[in-house]
């Protein structure tokens, strides 16, 4: 008998609405990317489930928003404790569901998920509002901030629990209630987190999680008249649809979108550190991070040396079974995504580029169980013009392109020559130069001589097609609250 006739062998998820798990009539298959096999059934929710979740969130809002920031913070800290207490289960689940290595989930995803709750539990206590005197008018002006209401949160598949908690934590810390929709491809850790909410002291209806596709569940959430705020992380194309659906309701929207991030490497860079870090920034999490480097511009005098060392390092970046601690990368998220990423490499080749290592060059020796998984080795490309789609579009896989440049002005112009503007990295020992480039590059985040060093107090977000708005300590506080100006005449 085919496996599909044995539903009991699958993990079956349920929506979490009003503090209870609620089964759904229809389900979507979710695959283990490292084996290519279905292992989980995710609810295929639609308007009915979203309406129920929004109603539960609306009902919970008055009581939750009336609590003090300290009381809400205590609940967030308890939830962080529970995530840490269940660390290894969450790590294993995130790796199996997403394809990333167990090591990456253990060192990055799940610790950061717990820290998101701790950070916002604390940061929400330290914001102050404005006050101004108008003595000549006998008036005092001041501002207050109030939670917005029901927040609609839509998170992506690349850092599932990490980016879901990055939204839930500030939303509920500031007194909102939420309806969250994780990616249908990576829903398991969100479902596991729901099991911890009651024990953490989260009242029913404060956090609701509805699983399903963007076309059905996401669309119902974004177009719901009682959801005044949407925070979305994902593709620019989906964000355009969200903006259109939100427009009739004048919703507050925060959009964290794609990137085509440049690294600009000058001849005076510390080459050893630069190569090591740029390998990480290009290939970490299979290149499935919006902040990954996908265009590397190298000053011509060191171009050949850099390329040789970079390709040698890329060949050592191991890809294979996510459970093997010696592997740096696991599997890509899906068969369709793997095919998309491969198509960019094929396009580069057809345009006359050189594929130095990776796709079509290096054979992956995978364990038998992983033969049908969605694996791709780190791929380095050179000899490709900036006008190519390979240099213009977000690939979101373990692929990076290396090009020489001659002048600082040229490097800046080429770095800015895409529709995205999320992040950039600059490698140089010249203090004046790094400040100049940081100012001139069109990117929401610029790292110099490092990558992915994050202070959560600071704004996170992109320019141009990389997004709208910022999130972070103060920015999330502002986004998840409405400000009122109040004038008292005495």
Measuring CA to CA, which residue among 220, 233, 327, 336 is closest to residue 289?
Answer: 233
Strands in 182-319 per DSSP E: 207-209, 229-233, 252-256, 261-265, 293-299
Please, which contacts does 88-93 make with residues 24 or more away whose CB atoms are closer than 8 Å? 89/192, 90/161, 90/189, 90/192, 90/193, 93/188, 93/189, 93/192
410 is catalytic: no
49, 256, 394, 471: the catalytic one is 256
Q: Is 374 exposed, middle or buried (0-12, 13-18, 19+ CB in 10 A)?
A: buried
**DSSP string of 269-305?**
S-HHHHHHHHHHHHHGGGG-STT-EEEEEEEHHHHHH
d(CA 82, CA 98): 22
DSSP notation for 52-81? HHHHHHHHHHHHHHHS-HHHHHHHHHHHHH
Report whether 430 contacts 270 (CB < 8 A): no
How many angstroms separate the CA atoms of 392 and 370, rounded? 32
Find residue 229's DSSP bridge partners: 151, 252
At 176 the three-state DSSP class reads coil
How far apart (Å, rounded) are the C-alpha atoms in residues 130 and 241? 36
CA torsion, ordered 421, 425, 429, 430, to nearest 10 deg: 0
Angle between helices 408-415 and 431-440 (to 10 degrees): 30
Instruction: From 239, 188, 245, 180, select the one nearest 49 (Cα to Cα).
Output: 180
Host H or E run for residue 102: helix 102-104
* Interior angle at CA 460, CA 459 and CA 462, nearest 5: 120
d(Cα 377, Cα 373) in Å, to the nearest integer? 13
Catalytically active residues, by annotation: 256
């Amino acid at each position: 008998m085919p496996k599909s006739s044995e539903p009991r062998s699958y993990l079956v998820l349920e929506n979490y609405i009003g503090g209870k798990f609620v089964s759904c009539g229809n389900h979507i298959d979710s695959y283990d990317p490292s084996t290519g096999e279905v292992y989980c059934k995710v609810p295929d929710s639609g308007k009915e489930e979203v309406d129920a979740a929004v109603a539960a969130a609306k009902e919970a809002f008055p009581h939750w928003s009336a609590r003090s920031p300290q009381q809400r913070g205590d609940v967030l800290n308890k939830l962080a404790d529970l995530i840490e207490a269940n660390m290894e289960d969450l790590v294993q689940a995130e790796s199996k569901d997403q394809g990333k290595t167990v090591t990456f989930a253990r060192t990055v995803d799940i610790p950061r998920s717990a820290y998101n709750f701790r950070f916002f539990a604390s940061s929400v206590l330290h914001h102050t509002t404005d006050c101004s005197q108008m003595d000549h008018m006998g008036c005092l002006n001041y501002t207050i901030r109030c939670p917005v209401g029901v927040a609609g949160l839509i998170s992506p598949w690349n850092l599932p629990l990490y980016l879901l908690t990055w939204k839930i934590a500030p939303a509920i810390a500031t007194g909102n209630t939420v309806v969250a929709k994780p990616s249908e491809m990576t829903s398991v850790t969100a479902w596991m987190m729901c099991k911890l909410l009651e024990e953490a002291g989260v009242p029913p209806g404060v956090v609701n999680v509805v699983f399903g596709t963007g076309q059905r569940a996401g669309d119902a959430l974004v177009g719901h008249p009682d959801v005044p705020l949407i925070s979305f992380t994902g593709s620019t194309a989906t964000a355009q649809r969200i903006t259109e659906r939100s427009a009739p309701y004048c919703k507050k929207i925060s959009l964290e979108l794609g990137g085509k991030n440049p690294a600009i490497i000058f001849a005076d860079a510390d080459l050893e550190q630069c190569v090591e870090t740029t390998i990480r920034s290009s290939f970490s999490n299979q290149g499935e991070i919006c902040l990954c480097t996908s265009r590397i511009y190298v000053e011509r005098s060191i171009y050949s040396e850099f390329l040789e060392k970079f390709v040698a390092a890329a060949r050592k970046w191991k890809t294979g079974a996510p459970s093997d601690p010696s592997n740096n990368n696991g599997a890509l998220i899906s068969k369709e995504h793997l095919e998309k990423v491969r198509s960019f490499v094929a396009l580069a080749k057809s345009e006359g580029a050189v594929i130095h290592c990776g796709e079509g060059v290096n054979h992956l020796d995978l364990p038998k169980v992983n033969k049908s998984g969605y694996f791709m080795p780190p791929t380095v490309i050179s000899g490709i013009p900036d006008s190519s789609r390979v240099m213009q579009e977000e690939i979101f896989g373990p692929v990076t392109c290396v090009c020489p440049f001659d002048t600082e002005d040229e490097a800046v112009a080429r770095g800015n020559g895409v529709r995205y503007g999320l992040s950039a990295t600059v490698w140089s020992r010249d203090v004046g130069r790094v400040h100049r480039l940081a100012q001139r590059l069109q990117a929401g985040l610029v790292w110099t001589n490092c990558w992915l060093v994050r202070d959560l107090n600071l704004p996170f977000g992109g320019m141009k097609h990389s997004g709208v708005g910022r999130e972070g300590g103060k920015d999330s506080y502002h986004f998840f609250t409405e400000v009122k100006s109040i004038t008292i005449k005495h």
